[in-house]
Structure 1
Amino acid sequence: MDENKERSLVAKVMDGLVSGIVEQKYGAILPPQDILSKEFDVSRTVMREALSMLLARHMLDVRPKTGTRIRPMSDWRLIDEDVVSWRFRAKPDQTFLRDVIEFRMLIEPRAAALAAARATPDEIAGIRDAFDALSRLQVGEPEYQAADEVLHTRIVAASGNQFFRQMTAIVRGALVTVNPIVDGIESVREATLAAQKSVVEAIESKDSAAAESATRALVDLAAEEVGRAFSLERVNVQPAAPNVNESAGV
Protein backbone atom coordinates (compact mmCIF):
# COMPACT_ATOMS: atom_id res chain seq x y z
CA MET A 1 0.00 0.00 0.00
CA ASP A 2 1.21 3.53 -0.83
CA GLU A 3 2.64 5.18 2.31
CA ASN A 4 0.51 8.33 1.97
CA LYS A 5 -2.60 6.26 1.37
CA GLU A 6 -1.85 4.16 4.45
CA ARG A 7 -1.38 7.29 6.59
CA SER A 8 -4.69 8.65 5.33
CA LEU A 9 -6.40 5.35 6.11
CA VAL A 10 -4.89 5.26 9.61
CA ALA A 11 -6.13 8.82 10.23
CA LYS A 12 -9.61 7.85 9.01
CA VAL A 13 -9.68 4.83 11.32
CA MET A 14 -8.48 6.94 14.25
CA ASP A 15 -11.25 9.43 13.61
CA GLY A 16 -13.83 6.66 13.47
CA LEU A 17 -12.57 5.09 16.65
CA VAL A 18 -12.68 8.43 18.47
CA SER A 19 -16.23 9.05 17.30
CA GLY A 20 -17.22 5.67 18.69
CA ILE A 21 -15.46 6.39 21.97
CA VAL A 22 -17.03 9.82 22.58
CA GLU A 23 -20.42 8.46 21.57
CA GLN A 24 -19.88 5.62 24.11
CA LYS A 25 -20.38 3.03 21.39
CA TYR A 26 -17.81 0.63 22.83
CA GLY A 27 -18.33 0.99 26.54
CA ALA A 28 -15.20 0.73 28.67
CA ILE A 29 -13.28 -1.87 26.61
CA LEU A 30 -12.61 -1.81 22.87
CA PRO A 31 -13.43 -4.95 20.87
CA PRO A 32 -10.45 -7.12 19.81
CA GLN A 33 -8.33 -5.86 16.91
CA ASP A 34 -9.61 -8.45 14.45
CA ILE A 35 -13.21 -7.41 15.10
CA LEU A 36 -12.33 -3.72 14.75
CA SER A 37 -10.43 -4.46 11.54
CA LYS A 38 -13.53 -6.08 10.06
CA GLU A 39 -15.74 -3.22 11.33
CA PHE A 40 -13.57 -0.62 9.57
CA ASP A 41 -12.70 -2.90 6.63
CA VAL A 42 -8.96 -2.41 7.05
CA SER A 43 -5.96 -4.65 7.62
CA ARG A 44 -4.83 -5.53 11.13
CA THR A 45 -1.66 -3.54 10.39
CA VAL A 46 -3.65 -0.36 9.79
CA MET A 47 -5.81 -0.99 12.85
CA ARG A 48 -2.75 -1.68 15.01
CA GLU A 49 -1.17 1.61 13.89
CA ALA A 50 -4.37 3.57 14.59
CA LEU A 51 -4.64 2.06 18.06
CA SER A 52 -0.98 2.79 18.79
CA MET A 53 -1.56 6.46 17.91
CA LEU A 54 -4.42 6.62 20.41
CA LEU A 55 -2.29 4.83 23.00
CA ALA A 56 0.43 7.46 22.54
CA ARG A 57 -2.17 10.15 23.24
CA HIS A 58 -3.11 8.49 26.55
CA MET A 59 -6.58 7.67 25.27
CA LEU A 60 -6.25 3.91 25.59
CA ASP A 61 -4.58 1.52 28.00
CA VAL A 62 -3.61 -2.06 27.17
CA ARG A 63 -3.69 -4.50 30.08
CA PRO A 64 -2.98 -8.22 30.11
CA LYS A 65 -6.10 -10.41 29.97
CA THR A 66 -8.45 -7.39 29.99
CA GLY A 67 -7.91 -6.03 26.48
CA THR A 68 -7.73 -2.40 25.39
CA ARG A 69 -9.36 -0.18 27.97
CA ILE A 70 -10.66 3.29 27.13
CA ARG A 71 -9.08 5.78 29.53
CA PRO A 72 -11.08 8.62 31.13
CA MET A 73 -11.12 11.78 29.03
CA SER A 74 -9.38 13.59 31.85
CA ASP A 75 -6.28 11.46 31.07
CA TRP A 76 -6.13 12.40 27.39
CA ARG A 77 -3.17 14.44 26.19
CA LEU A 78 -4.91 17.73 25.53
CA ILE A 79 -1.77 19.49 24.31
CA ASP A 80 -2.06 17.30 21.22
CA GLU A 81 -4.19 19.27 18.73
CA ASP A 82 -5.97 16.18 17.43
CA VAL A 83 -6.83 15.11 20.98
CA VAL A 84 -8.14 18.59 21.75
CA SER A 85 -10.44 18.44 18.75
CA TRP A 86 -11.66 14.96 19.68
CA ARG A 87 -12.18 15.82 23.35
CA PHE A 88 -14.35 18.80 22.50
CA ARG A 89 -16.64 16.61 20.41
CA ALA A 90 -18.07 15.01 23.53
CA LYS A 91 -21.06 16.58 25.21
CA PRO A 92 -19.69 18.89 27.94
CA ASP A 93 -20.40 18.04 31.55
CA GLN A 94 -20.15 20.28 34.60
CA THR A 95 -16.58 19.32 35.44
CA PHE A 96 -15.39 19.82 31.89
CA LEU A 97 -17.05 23.23 31.60
CA ARG A 98 -15.51 24.27 34.91
CA ASP A 99 -12.08 23.20 33.68
CA VAL A 100 -12.57 25.04 30.38
CA ILE A 101 -13.38 28.30 32.17
CA GLU A 102 -10.50 27.88 34.60
CA PHE A 103 -8.11 27.22 31.72
CA ARG A 104 -9.24 30.35 29.92
CA MET A 105 -8.98 32.43 33.09
CA LEU A 106 -5.42 31.27 33.68
CA ILE A 107 -4.12 31.53 30.12
CA GLU A 108 -5.94 34.26 28.19
CA PRO A 109 -5.50 37.24 30.57
CA ARG A 110 -1.81 36.50 30.92
CA ALA A 111 -1.40 36.02 27.17
CA ALA A 112 -3.11 39.36 26.53
CA ALA A 113 -0.80 41.09 29.01
CA LEU A 114 2.23 39.60 27.28
CA ALA A 115 0.84 40.50 23.86
CA ALA A 116 0.57 44.13 24.98
CA ALA A 117 4.25 44.03 25.93
CA ARG A 118 5.64 41.93 23.08
CA ALA A 119 3.38 41.94 20.01
CA THR A 120 4.93 43.17 16.77
CA PRO A 121 3.20 45.89 14.71
CA ASP A 122 2.04 43.21 12.25
CA GLU A 123 0.60 41.09 15.07
CA ILE A 124 -1.21 44.09 16.54
CA ALA A 125 -2.62 44.95 13.12
CA GLY A 126 -3.78 41.34 12.75
CA ILE A 127 -5.54 41.49 16.11
CA ARG A 128 -7.28 44.73 15.14
CA ASP A 129 -8.32 43.26 11.77
CA ALA A 130 -9.73 40.18 13.53
CA PHE A 131 -11.75 42.32 15.94
CA ASP A 132 -13.09 44.56 13.18
CA ALA A 133 -14.16 41.50 11.18
CA LEU A 134 -15.87 39.99 14.24
CA SER A 135 -17.66 43.22 15.13
CA ARG A 136 -19.34 43.30 11.71
CA LEU A 137 -20.85 39.84 12.18
CA GLN A 138 -23.94 38.75 14.04
CA VAL A 139 -24.24 35.68 16.23
CA GLY A 140 -25.53 32.83 14.10
CA GLU A 141 -23.81 33.90 10.89
CA PRO A 142 -21.64 31.11 9.47
CA GLU A 143 -18.42 33.12 9.81
CA TYR A 144 -19.03 34.30 13.38
CA GLN A 145 -17.50 31.39 15.31
CA ALA A 146 -14.41 31.29 13.12
CA ALA A 147 -13.91 35.06 13.45
CA ASP A 148 -14.15 34.85 17.23
CA GLU A 149 -11.58 32.05 17.29
CA VAL A 150 -9.21 34.06 15.09
CA LEU A 151 -9.31 37.04 17.44
CA HIS A 152 -8.61 35.01 20.57
CA THR A 153 -5.93 32.80 19.05
CA ARG A 154 -4.10 35.77 17.50
CA ILE A 155 -3.91 37.39 20.92
CA VAL A 156 -2.54 34.18 22.46
CA ALA A 157 -0.03 33.78 19.63
CA ALA A 158 1.08 37.41 20.02
CA SER A 159 2.12 36.67 23.60
CA GLY A 160 5.42 35.45 22.18
CA ASN A 161 5.33 32.49 24.59
CA GLN A 162 5.93 29.21 22.77
CA PHE A 163 3.93 27.20 25.31
CA PHE A 164 0.96 29.54 25.10
CA ARG A 165 1.10 29.32 21.31
CA GLN A 166 0.81 25.54 21.52
CA MET A 167 -2.37 25.97 23.55
CA THR A 168 -4.28 27.83 20.84
CA ALA A 169 -6.05 24.57 19.91
CA ILE A 170 -7.43 24.37 23.45
CA VAL A 171 -8.50 28.02 23.28
CA ARG A 172 -10.38 27.31 20.04
CA GLY A 173 -12.03 24.26 21.56
CA ALA A 174 -12.96 26.23 24.68
CA LEU A 175 -14.66 28.88 22.57
CA VAL A 176 -16.56 26.26 20.56
CA THR A 177 -17.82 24.77 23.83
CA VAL A 178 -18.70 27.96 25.71
CA ASN A 179 -19.92 30.29 22.97
CA PRO A 180 -23.18 28.44 22.17
CA ILE A 181 -24.14 28.80 25.84
CA VAL A 182 -23.60 32.57 26.02
CA ASP A 183 -23.98 33.94 22.49
CA GLY A 184 -27.73 33.70 22.40
CA ILE A 185 -28.05 36.29 25.17
CA GLU A 186 -28.07 39.72 23.52
CA SER A 187 -26.91 41.63 26.57
CA VAL A 188 -23.99 39.24 26.99
CA ARG A 189 -23.06 39.57 23.33
CA GLU A 190 -22.95 43.37 23.67
CA ALA A 191 -20.88 43.19 26.85
CA THR A 192 -18.55 40.62 25.26
CA LEU A 193 -17.93 42.82 22.23
CA ALA A 194 -17.23 45.81 24.49
CA ALA A 195 -14.78 43.75 26.54
CA GLN A 196 -13.07 42.45 23.41
CA LYS A 197 -12.71 46.03 22.18
CA SER A 198 -11.11 47.01 25.48
CA VAL A 199 -8.63 44.14 25.17
CA VAL A 200 -7.66 45.13 21.63
CA GLU A 201 -7.28 48.80 22.52
CA ALA A 202 -5.13 47.95 25.54
CA ILE A 203 -2.85 45.80 23.38
CA GLU A 204 -2.62 48.61 20.81
CA SER A 205 -1.71 51.01 23.64
CA LYS A 206 0.82 48.47 25.00
CA ASP A 207 -0.92 48.66 28.36
CA SER A 208 -0.33 45.21 29.84
CA ALA A 209 -2.29 45.76 33.03
CA ALA A 210 -5.34 47.00 31.14
CA ALA A 211 -5.11 44.13 28.64
CA GLU A 212 -5.01 41.57 31.42
CA SER A 213 -7.85 43.20 33.34
CA ALA A 214 -10.06 43.51 30.26
CA THR A 215 -9.45 39.88 29.29
CA ARG A 216 -10.26 38.73 32.79
CA ALA A 217 -13.54 40.64 32.58
CA LEU A 218 -14.20 39.04 29.18
CA VAL A 219 -13.71 35.49 30.43
CA ASP A 220 -15.67 36.32 33.58
CA LEU A 221 -18.70 37.16 31.45
CA ALA A 222 -18.63 33.67 30.01
CA ALA A 223 -17.99 32.15 33.43
CA GLU A 224 -21.05 33.85 34.87
CA GLU A 225 -23.41 32.64 32.16
CA VAL A 226 -21.98 29.12 32.07
CA GLY A 227 -22.24 28.96 35.85
CA ARG A 228 -25.86 30.10 35.73
CA ALA A 229 -26.74 27.59 33.00
CA PHE A 230 -24.96 24.60 34.55
CA SER A 231 -24.99 25.43 38.27
CA LEU A 232 -21.22 25.65 38.44
CA GLU A 233 -19.36 27.12 41.36
CA ARG A 234 -18.16 30.65 40.72
CA VAL A 235 -14.76 30.64 39.09
CA ASN A 236 -12.28 32.89 40.86
CA VAL A 237 -8.80 32.32 39.48
CA GLN A 238 -6.69 35.41 39.95
CA PRO A 239 -3.06 34.46 40.55
CA ALA A 240 -0.57 37.12 41.45
CA ALA A 241 1.44 37.97 38.36
CA PRO A 242 4.95 39.35 38.05
CA ASN A 243 5.60 42.61 36.26
CA VAL A 244 4.99 41.91 32.56
CA ASN A 245 7.56 44.39 31.31
CA GLU A 246 10.24 42.82 33.49
CA SER A 247 9.37 39.29 32.39
CA ALA A 248 9.32 40.38 28.76
CA GLY A 249 12.69 42.03 29.07
CA VAL A 250 11.44 45.42 27.90
Structure 2
Amino acid sequence: MDENKERSLVAKVMDGLVSGIVEQKYGAILPPQDVLSKEFDVSRTVMREALSMLLARHMLDVRPKTGTRIRPMSDWRLIDEDVVSWRFRATPDQAFLRDVIEFRMLIEPRAAALAAARATPDELAGIREAFDALSSLETGEPEFQAADVALHTRIVAASGNQFFQQMTAIVRGALVTVYPIVQGIATMREATLGAQREVVEAIGARDAAAAERAMSRLIDVTAEEVGRAFSFERREDSSSPPIDESQSAGA
Protein backbone atom coordinates (compact mmCIF):
# COMPACT_ATOMS: atom_id res chain seq x y z
CA MET A 1 0.00 0.00 0.00
CA ASP A 2 1.21 3.53 -0.78
CA GLU A 3 2.70 5.10 2.36
CA ASN A 4 0.61 8.28 2.13
CA LYS A 5 -2.55 6.27 1.57
CA GLU A 6 -1.77 4.05 4.56
CA ARG A 7 -1.09 7.09 6.75
CA SER A 8 -4.40 8.60 5.67
CA LEU A 9 -6.18 5.33 6.40
CA VAL A 10 -4.60 5.13 9.87
CA ALA A 11 -5.77 8.68 10.62
CA LYS A 12 -9.29 7.81 9.45
CA VAL A 13 -9.36 4.71 11.65
CA MET A 14 -8.07 6.70 14.64
CA ASP A 15 -10.81 9.27 14.14
CA GLY A 16 -13.43 6.52 13.95
CA LEU A 17 -12.13 4.80 17.06
CA VAL A 18 -12.14 8.06 19.01
CA SER A 19 -15.70 8.81 17.93
CA GLY A 20 -16.72 5.38 19.20
CA ILE A 21 -14.89 5.96 22.48
CA VAL A 22 -16.39 9.39 23.25
CA GLU A 23 -19.83 8.12 22.24
CA GLN A 24 -19.30 5.17 24.64
CA LYS A 25 -19.88 2.70 21.85
CA TYR A 26 -17.34 0.20 23.15
CA GLY A 27 -17.78 0.40 26.90
CA ALA A 28 -14.62 0.00 28.97
CA ILE A 29 -12.72 -2.44 26.74
CA LEU A 30 -12.18 -2.32 22.99
CA PRO A 31 -13.07 -5.38 20.90
CA PRO A 32 -10.14 -7.55 19.69
CA GLN A 33 -8.03 -6.20 16.83
CA ASP A 34 -9.41 -8.65 14.27
CA VAL A 35 -12.98 -7.59 15.13
CA LEU A 36 -12.06 -3.92 14.82
CA SER A 37 -10.24 -4.58 11.54
CA LYS A 38 -13.42 -6.08 10.08
CA GLU A 39 -15.55 -3.26 11.49
CA PHE A 40 -13.38 -0.62 9.77
CA ASP A 41 -12.59 -2.80 6.74
CA VAL A 42 -8.83 -2.37 7.09
CA SER A 43 -5.86 -4.66 7.50
CA ARG A 44 -4.62 -5.67 10.94
CA THR A 45 -1.45 -3.70 10.21
CA VAL A 46 -3.43 -0.48 9.79
CA MET A 47 -5.52 -1.21 12.88
CA ARG A 48 -2.43 -2.01 14.94
CA GLU A 49 -0.83 1.30 13.91
CA ALA A 50 -4.00 3.27 14.76
CA LEU A 51 -4.21 1.63 18.19
CA SER A 52 -0.53 2.29 18.85
CA MET A 53 -1.10 6.00 18.14
CA LEU A 54 -3.88 6.08 20.72
CA LEU A 55 -1.72 4.17 23.18
CA ALA A 56 1.01 6.80 22.77
CA ARG A 57 -1.52 9.48 23.68
CA HIS A 58 -2.43 7.65 26.92
CA MET A 59 -5.94 6.95 25.68
CA LEU A 60 -5.66 3.16 25.85
CA ASP A 61 -4.01 0.65 28.15
CA VAL A 62 -3.09 -2.90 27.10
CA ARG A 63 -3.15 -5.44 29.92
CA PRO A 64 -2.57 -9.21 29.85
CA LYS A 65 -5.79 -11.24 29.79
CA THR A 66 -8.03 -8.16 29.91
CA GLY A 67 -7.44 -6.78 26.42
CA THR A 68 -7.24 -3.13 25.39
CA ARG A 69 -8.84 -1.02 28.08
CA ILE A 70 -10.03 2.55 27.44
CA ARG A 71 -8.38 4.90 29.91
CA PRO A 72 -10.29 7.71 31.65
CA MET A 73 -10.32 10.96 29.69
CA SER A 74 -8.45 12.62 32.54
CA ASP A 75 -5.44 10.47 31.59
CA TRP A 76 -5.37 11.58 27.95
CA ARG A 77 -2.45 13.68 26.81
CA LEU A 78 -4.14 17.02 26.29
CA ILE A 79 -1.03 18.81 25.10
CA ASP A 80 -1.57 17.26 21.72
CA GLU A 81 -3.79 19.02 19.18
CA ASP A 82 -5.51 15.84 18.03
CA VAL A 83 -6.24 14.72 21.60
CA VAL A 84 -7.50 18.19 22.53
CA SER A 85 -9.88 18.16 19.59
CA TRP A 86 -11.11 14.68 20.44
CA ARG A 87 -11.54 15.42 24.14
CA PHE A 88 -13.68 18.46 23.42
CA ARG A 89 -16.02 16.34 21.28
CA ALA A 90 -17.43 14.67 24.36
CA THR A 91 -20.42 16.28 26.07
CA PRO A 92 -18.93 18.52 28.79
CA ASP A 93 -19.60 17.58 32.40
CA GLN A 94 -19.43 19.82 35.46
CA ALA A 95 -15.88 18.93 36.42
CA PHE A 96 -14.59 19.36 32.87
CA LEU A 97 -16.18 22.80 32.49
CA ARG A 98 -14.72 23.85 35.82
CA ASP A 99 -11.28 22.64 34.75
CA VAL A 100 -11.58 24.45 31.40
CA ILE A 101 -12.32 27.75 33.13
CA GLU A 102 -9.54 27.25 35.67
CA PHE A 103 -7.13 26.56 32.81
CA ARG A 104 -8.20 29.70 30.97
CA MET A 105 -7.81 31.80 34.11
CA LEU A 106 -4.29 30.49 34.59
CA ILE A 107 -3.15 31.02 31.00
CA GLU A 108 -5.05 33.81 29.28
CA PRO A 109 -4.60 36.74 31.71
CA ARG A 110 -0.85 36.15 31.82
CA ALA A 111 -0.75 35.70 28.05
CA ALA A 112 -2.54 39.04 27.65
CA ALA A 113 0.03 40.72 29.88
CA LEU A 114 2.89 39.22 27.88
CA ALA A 115 1.22 40.21 24.62
CA ALA A 116 1.08 43.80 25.85
CA ALA A 117 4.81 43.67 26.45
CA ARG A 118 5.96 41.59 23.48
CA ALA A 119 3.49 41.65 20.60
CA THR A 120 4.90 42.76 17.26
CA PRO A 121 3.12 45.46 15.24
CA ASP A 122 1.71 42.75 12.95
CA GLU A 123 0.41 40.79 15.96
CA LEU A 124 -1.19 43.90 17.42
CA ALA A 125 -2.87 44.55 14.07
CA GLY A 126 -4.13 40.95 13.97
CA ILE A 127 -5.60 41.24 17.48
CA ARG A 128 -7.33 44.50 16.59
CA GLU A 129 -8.60 43.03 13.32
CA ALA A 130 -10.15 40.06 15.14
CA PHE A 131 -11.82 42.35 17.68
CA ASP A 132 -13.20 44.67 14.98
CA ALA A 133 -14.66 41.65 13.18
CA LEU A 134 -16.15 40.36 16.43
CA SER A 135 -17.71 43.70 17.35
CA SER A 136 -19.45 43.92 13.96
CA LEU A 137 -21.15 40.52 14.33
CA GLU A 138 -24.09 39.19 16.32
CA THR A 139 -23.82 35.96 18.31
CA GLY A 140 -26.12 34.06 15.96
CA GLU A 141 -24.00 34.76 12.88
CA PRO A 142 -21.78 31.90 11.68
CA GLU A 143 -18.64 34.03 11.71
CA PHE A 144 -19.06 35.18 15.31
CA GLN A 145 -17.54 32.14 16.98
CA ALA A 146 -14.61 32.08 14.53
CA ALA A 147 -13.86 35.75 15.26
CA ASP A 148 -14.05 35.13 19.02
CA VAL A 149 -11.65 32.19 18.74
CA ALA A 150 -9.30 34.22 16.53
CA LEU A 151 -9.14 37.05 19.07
CA HIS A 152 -8.26 34.83 22.01
CA THR A 153 -5.82 32.57 20.19
CA ARG A 154 -4.03 35.54 18.62
CA ILE A 155 -3.56 37.07 22.06
CA VAL A 156 -2.08 33.80 23.36
CA ALA A 157 0.16 33.52 20.30
CA ALA A 158 1.31 37.13 20.75
CA SER A 159 2.54 36.30 24.27
CA GLY A 160 5.78 35.08 22.68
CA ASN A 161 5.85 32.21 25.17
CA GLN A 162 6.30 28.93 23.31
CA PHE A 163 4.54 26.89 25.99
CA PHE A 164 1.53 29.20 25.96
CA GLN A 165 1.53 29.08 22.17
CA GLN A 166 1.36 25.27 22.32
CA MET A 167 -1.85 25.60 24.33
CA THR A 168 -3.85 27.56 21.76
CA ALA A 169 -5.65 24.32 20.82
CA ILE A 170 -6.97 24.05 24.38
CA VAL A 171 -8.06 27.70 24.39
CA ARG A 172 -9.81 27.14 21.06
CA GLY A 173 -11.54 24.01 22.35
CA ALA A 174 -12.55 25.75 25.57
CA LEU A 175 -14.21 28.61 23.70
CA VAL A 176 -16.05 26.27 21.35
CA THR A 177 -17.25 24.18 24.31
CA VAL A 178 -18.77 27.03 26.32
CA TYR A 179 -20.18 28.88 23.30
CA PRO A 180 -23.45 26.85 23.06
CA ILE A 181 -23.99 27.36 26.79
CA VAL A 182 -23.73 31.16 26.79
CA GLN A 183 -24.78 32.19 23.28
CA GLY A 184 -28.46 32.41 24.16
CA ILE A 185 -27.93 34.75 27.13
CA ALA A 186 -29.18 38.18 26.06
CA THR A 187 -26.71 40.24 28.11
CA MET A 188 -23.71 38.05 27.38
CA ARG A 189 -22.51 39.64 24.15
CA GLU A 190 -22.35 43.21 25.48
CA ALA A 191 -20.73 42.13 28.73
CA THR A 192 -18.02 40.12 27.01
CA LEU A 193 -17.54 42.63 24.19
CA GLY A 194 -16.90 45.40 26.69
CA ALA A 195 -14.34 43.30 28.53
CA GLN A 196 -12.71 42.24 25.25
CA ARG A 197 -12.42 45.88 24.22
CA GLU A 198 -10.61 46.64 27.48
CA VAL A 199 -8.19 43.75 26.85
CA VAL A 200 -7.45 44.86 23.28
CA GLU A 201 -7.00 48.50 24.24
CA ALA A 202 -4.70 47.63 27.14
CA ILE A 203 -2.56 45.41 24.89
CA GLY A 204 -2.43 48.17 22.27
CA ALA A 205 -1.36 50.66 24.97
CA ARG A 206 1.37 48.25 26.12
CA ASP A 207 -0.17 48.22 29.60
CA ALA A 208 0.56 44.69 30.81
CA ALA A 209 -1.11 45.04 34.22
CA ALA A 210 -4.31 46.44 32.74
CA ALA A 211 -4.39 43.73 30.07
CA GLU A 212 -4.04 41.01 32.70
CA ARG A 213 -6.82 42.49 34.86
CA ALA A 214 -9.14 42.95 31.89
CA MET A 215 -8.65 39.37 30.70
CA SER A 216 -9.36 38.08 34.21
CA ARG A 217 -12.61 40.06 34.27
CA LEU A 218 -13.54 38.73 30.84
CA ILE A 219 -13.14 35.10 31.91
CA ASP A 220 -15.02 35.83 35.14
CA VAL A 221 -18.01 36.99 33.08
CA THR A 222 -18.07 33.69 31.19
CA ALA A 223 -17.42 31.68 34.35
CA GLU A 224 -20.37 33.28 36.11
CA GLU A 225 -22.78 32.38 33.31
CA VAL A 226 -21.40 28.85 32.90
CA GLY A 227 -21.62 28.44 36.67
CA ARG A 228 -25.32 29.27 36.53
CA ALA A 229 -25.90 26.58 33.93
CA PHE A 230 -23.69 23.98 35.61
CA SER A 231 -23.24 23.91 39.38
CA PHE A 232 -19.55 23.25 39.80
CA GLU A 233 -18.78 20.39 42.15
CA ARG A 234 -16.74 21.18 45.22
CA ARG A 235 -13.83 18.95 46.06
CA GLU A 236 -14.17 18.15 49.73
CA ASP A 237 -11.63 15.52 50.62
CA SER A 238 -8.95 15.17 53.23
CA SER A 239 -6.12 15.93 50.81
CA SER A 240 -7.25 19.43 49.84
CA PRO A 241 -9.50 22.18 51.24
CA PRO A 242 -12.87 22.87 49.61
CA ILE A 243 -12.64 25.09 46.55
CA ASP A 244 -14.69 28.23 46.83
CA GLU A 245 -17.28 28.17 44.04
CA SER A 246 -16.37 31.65 42.82
CA GLN A 247 -12.71 30.61 42.62
CA SER A 248 -13.45 27.33 40.87
CA ALA A 249 -15.31 29.29 38.24
CA GLY A 250 -12.66 31.93 37.73
CA ALA A 251 -9.32 31.17 39.34
TM-score, shorter chain, exceeding 0.5: yes
* Alpha-carbon distance, 1:235 to partner: 2.7
CA distance in 2: counterparts of 1:105 and 1:126, whole angstroms: 22
TM-align CA RMSD: 1.1
- Pairing 1:150–2:162 present: no
Quote the sequence identity (%): 84
Listed as ranges, the matches of 1:220-235 within 5 Å are 220-232=220-232, 233-235=245-247
The answer to whether the 8 A contact 1:58-1:77 is kept is yes
* Alpha-carbon distance, 1:43 to partner: 0.1
* Alpha-carbon distance, 1:144 to partner: 1.1
The answer to whether the 8 A contact 1:223-1:235 is kept is no
1:207 counterpart residue number: 207
Counterpart amino acid of residue 19 in structure 2: S
CA distance in 2: counterparts of 1:143 and 1:98, whole angstroms: 26
The answer to whether the 8 A contact 1:101-1:235 is kept is no
CA distance in 2: counterparts of 1:234 and 1:180, whole angstroms: 22
Listed as ranges, the matches of 1:1-250 within 5 Å are 1-232=1-232, 233-235=245-247
Q: Which runs of 5+ in 1 are unaligned?
A: 240-250
Counterpart amino acid of residue 36 in structure 1: L
Shift of the 3–197 alpha-carbon distance from structure 1 to 2, 3 Å rule, reads same
Counterpart amino acid of residue 247 in structure 2: V
* Alpha-carbon distance, 1:123 to partner: 0.4
User: TM-score, normalised on structure 1?
Assistant: 0.94
Shift of the 219–173 alpha-carbon distance from structure 1 to 2, 3 Å rule, reads same
* Alpha-carbon distance, 1:9 to partner: 0.3
* Alpha-carbon distance, 1:238 to partner: 8.1
CA distance in 1: counterparts of 2:173 and 2:19, whole angstroms: 16
Shift of the 173–122 alpha-carbon distance from structure 1 to 2, 3 Å rule, reads same
CA distance in 1: counterparts of 2:161 and 2:219, whole angstroms: 20
Runs of 4+ in 1 over 2 A off after TM superposition: 233-239
Secondary structure (helix, strand or coil) at the match of 2:246 reads: coil
